[in-house]
């Protein structure tokens, strides 16, 4: 089973690495990082590069597609090479998934029409522009489409899908080996829980606006 | 403030990316991925490569050192180039940190002598061999040494240290932006919580033994 994780300039690293480290432990699977051009692809901070080992053109029939998000998602919304690849890969995929604003790319490709989906909390409403029905859940499964909320939620998505495909015990084994027993030092991980002034600050900051 | 994240062959990706995505959002900081040789460094699965942008020799005075773990930690225990670099960097660092079995590398460099520390649950006892006092906590701070438990705990460590350096609000802002509101689909993230037969299986499996 081939898992293709899509990279593009200024993606958010954890969006991609969360599913890689969990779902990517699926027995008998092979994970491949793909991008329009092969080679190192820089994240949103510019301080990290992950290698795309194959081009989109080289990976034509992945079983599972994972699309991360990040500030670099916006310019990709008009990238027909990527959107065409997503549409084509989706015709044969078993699961088509996203983390964070990656769901907007699936939506822009027309794949979430009429489906329940999620995204980063700052981007959630934009799903409506593409006929998707946004929900505030952390991991949303609708048919073969699995979307996750912001950044770190890809870990929960990866474990959820791993359990669905390989069984609860396999997912529990990966949770144990990655020691995923979260103990955040604060309880500010969602707009419902964080201090209201922080939520408002980011909603008002154009650097965080999503289109 | 410079944050140096150390890479070596067969490290575990999330060990490095968790702190990068949290602590690396420290205002005014620059994160640099370093390794003995610059270039792409492969993770334990072989399916992911992160670029080391600088060599160890090029980064001589980092303010914060982050050492990930992974199966590749074992051969590094005798790598005097790396151990010497850790010792030298530690003489000027403000914080010296690790995730997972990265703490064994700090310990092998002699930096955790007489200190409380943690590691991946499968490796915890080995800390004693280097004069450190293992604890089962997820994030352990002893002086300027901050060690985290297995793999995903680097996210909690990163937020904890970010709060300590930049204040609670900054850490809460990063938690909100990374939407770190964990909802694991299982409760199997520690040896105390996971099914006992899984814990025993991994303890008995030589592929998971750590030295």
Q: How far apart (Å, rounded) are the C-alpha atoms in residues B138 and A141?
A: 31
**Which residue in A120, A139, A179 is closest to B121 by CB distance?**
A179
Nearest Cα neighbor of A151 from A183, A184, A122 is A122
Mutate to test the interface with A, among B16, B152, B205 (most CBs of A within 10 A): B152
Cβ contacts of B172 within 8 Å, gap of 6 or more: A186, A188, A194, A195, A198, B163
Check pLDDT > 80 for residue A74: yes
Contact A160/B189 with Cβ under 8 angstroms?
no
Helix B13-22 vs helix B168-177: angle between axes, to the nearest 10 degrees?
A: 120
Q: pLDDT tens digits, residue range A36-58?
A: 999 999 999 999 999 999 999 99
Q: pLDDT tens digits, residue range A129-177?
A: 999 999 989 999 999 999 999 999 999 999 999 999 999 999 999 999 9
Q: How far apart (Å, rounded) are the C-alpha atoms in residues B148 and B121?
A: 10
Contact A13/A152 with Cβ under 8 angstroms?
no
Check pLDDT > 90 for residue A210: no
At residue A211, the pLDDT reads 59
According to DSSP, the β-strands at B145-148 and B139-142 are antiparallel
Average pLDDT over all residues of chain A: 97
Check pLDDT > 90 for residue A206: no
Dihedral angle sign, alpha carbons of residues B84, B89, B92, B98: negative
Window from A120-124, A202-206, B82-86 with minimum mean pLDDT: A202-206
What is the interface pTM, i.e. ipTM, of the complex? 0.97
Q: pLDDT tens digits, residue range B62-88?
A: 999 999 999 999 999 999 999 999 999
Say what percent of chain A tops pLDDT 90. Answer: 97
pTM: 0.97
Measured in angstroms, the CA of B189 and the nearest CA of chain A are apart by: 4
In a domain, A79, yes or no: yes
CA A55 to chain centre: 19
At residue B98, the pLDDT reads 98
B-chain CB neighbours of A189 within 8 Å are: 175-176, 178-182
What domain range includes position B125? 2-183
B-chain CB neighbours of A168 within 8 Å are: 186
Q: Do B31 and A21 touch (CB under 8 A)?
A: no
How many structural domains compose chain B? 1
Closest residue, chain B, to A173 (C-alpha): B198
At residue B206, the pLDDT reads 83
Strand partners, B133: B116
Mutate to test the interface with B, among A176, A178, A194, A197 (most CBs of B within 10 A): A176
In a domain, A90, yes or no: yes
DSSP state of A178: T
Q: How far apart (Å, rounded) are the C-alpha atoms in residues B154 and B139?
A: 8
Phi-psi region of B43 (alpha: psi -120 to 50; beta: other; left: phi over 0): beta
Measured in angstroms, the CA of B105 and the nearest CA of chain A are apart by: 19
In a domain, A206, yes or no: no
Q: What is the CATH number of the domain that holds B60?
A: 3.40.50.880
- Mean pLDDT, rounded, for B170-185: 98
At residue B210, the pLDDT reads 72
DSSP state of A144: T
In a domain, A27, yes or no: yes
Question: What b/e sequence results for B141-162 when a residue is b if at least 16 CB atoms lie within 10 Å of its CB, and e otherwise?
Answer: beeebbbbbbbbbbbbbbbbbb
In a domain, B207, yes or no: no
A119, HSE (Cβ side, Cα atoms, 13 Å)? 26
- Mean pLDDT, rounded, for B153-175: 98
Check pLDDT > 80 for residue B211: no
Report residue A28's pLDDT band, with 50, 70 and 90 as the boundaries.
very high
In a domain, B44, yes or no: yes
User: Going along chain A, which residue ranges are E strands?
Assistant: 2-6, 30-35, 39-42, 49-52, 54-55, 64-67, 95-99, 116-117, 133-134, 139-142, 145-148
């Amino acid at each position: 089973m081939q898992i293709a994780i899509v990279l593009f300039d200024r993606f958010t690293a954890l969006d991609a690495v969360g599913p890689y480290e969990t779902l990517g432990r699926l027995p008998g699977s092979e994970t491949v990082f793909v991008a329009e051009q092969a080679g190192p692809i820089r994240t949103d901070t510019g301080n990290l590069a992950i290698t795309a080992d194959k081009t989109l053109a080289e990976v034509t029939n992945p079983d599972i597609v994972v699309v991360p998000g990040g500030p670099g998602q916006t310019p990709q919304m008009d990238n027909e090479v990527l959107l065409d690849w997503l549409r084509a890969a989706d015709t044969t995929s078993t699961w088509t998934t996203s983390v964070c604003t990656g769901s907007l790319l699936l939506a822009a490709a027309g794949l979430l029409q009429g489906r329940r989906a999620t995204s980063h909390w700052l981007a959630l409403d934009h799903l409506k522009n593409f006929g998707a029905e946004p929900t505030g859940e952390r991991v949303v499964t609708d048919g073969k489409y699995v979307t996750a909320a912001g950044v770190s939620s890809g870990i929960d998505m990866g474990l959820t899908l791993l359990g669905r495909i390989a069984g609860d015990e396999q997912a529990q084994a990966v949770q144990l080996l990655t020691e995923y027993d979260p103990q955040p030092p604060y309880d500010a991980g969602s707009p419902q829980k964080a201090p209201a002034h922080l939520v408002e600050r980011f909603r008002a900051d154009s650097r965080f606006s999503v289109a």
